Amino acid sequence: MAPIPLAVTTSTKVDADQIREARAVASRWGLPFLPRRPKEGIAPWFGVKADALLVVGGDGVTLWDGEGSFGFHAGMAHLRRMRVRDGEPDAFVRVAELRPGDSVLDCTLGLAQDALVASLMVGPSGRVVGLEKSLALSVVAGEGLRRYELGPDSGPIEVVHADAREYLKTLPSGAFDVVFFDPMFAKPKKAQPAFEVLRRFAEHAPLTAETLAEGRRVARRWVVVKGARYSDDLKKLGLEPEPGSRFTDVIWGRLGPFP
């Protein structure tokens, strides 16, 4: 039999609570659950039982394949949220003009770094929806956010496993205040091994003019696109970088809605 593309299992410290949680994760995302004996290694499973595994343990859900692993970590988003709370500027907040009560559609959720910042800015009266085409990344982000304490000053983040190009077509015009795209950079810089695992599962298709136009139809205020200073990704879409720091590799472009 061919290996399962993606399955859920437990960590090596198997107990009844962990098995229940792993089965619940599998049920929430429509994935098979593979039982694991205590201290049983998963390396022999790859290419035989499964191509990739979501391992449920005390530290949350970790994605493994035959070459490495990574899990959800708020990382820089947590630091950005702390800075925003202290009144410091944030480039995404500035370009998108995020405000309390806004609805934000993040079309490329990844590990929800910008969605976490948006959640703080829109507040409990706002809404953030994150789309992620990769089922594996959807589970890592969704389960990670279930365990992350947003706080009473933040709005909910809804994770949807969907292709943004198709999802946008199902929405009425003006459905969200801000539509956001953060395509995977075509020319990656050197990164940690865990990020290389993420890249293997992430969507690599470039943002197209057609999808950008759908975003403009759905947005009430801005469509925001994140790009890399060392690429011509924004230029290809007819976007001019917004003014910003020359000390960062990240640039931002935006377009208003269609008249």
Q: pTM for the full model?
A: 0.92
Backbone angles phi, psi at 60, to 5 degrees: 100, -150
The neighbour count for residue 150, using CB atoms within 10 Å, is: 15
Render pLDDT for 119-150 as a digit per residue (tens, 0 to 9): 999 999 999 999 999 999 999 999 999 999 99
CA atoms within 13 A on the CB side of 7: 18
CA distance 70 to 67: 11
In angstroms and rounded to an integer, the radius of gyration of the C-alpha atoms of the chain is 19
Instruction: Please state the separation of Cα 86 from the chain's center in Å.
Output: 25
**Strongest mean pLDDT among 61-75, 85-99, 180-194:** 85-99
Between 31 and 39, residue with greater pLDDT: 31
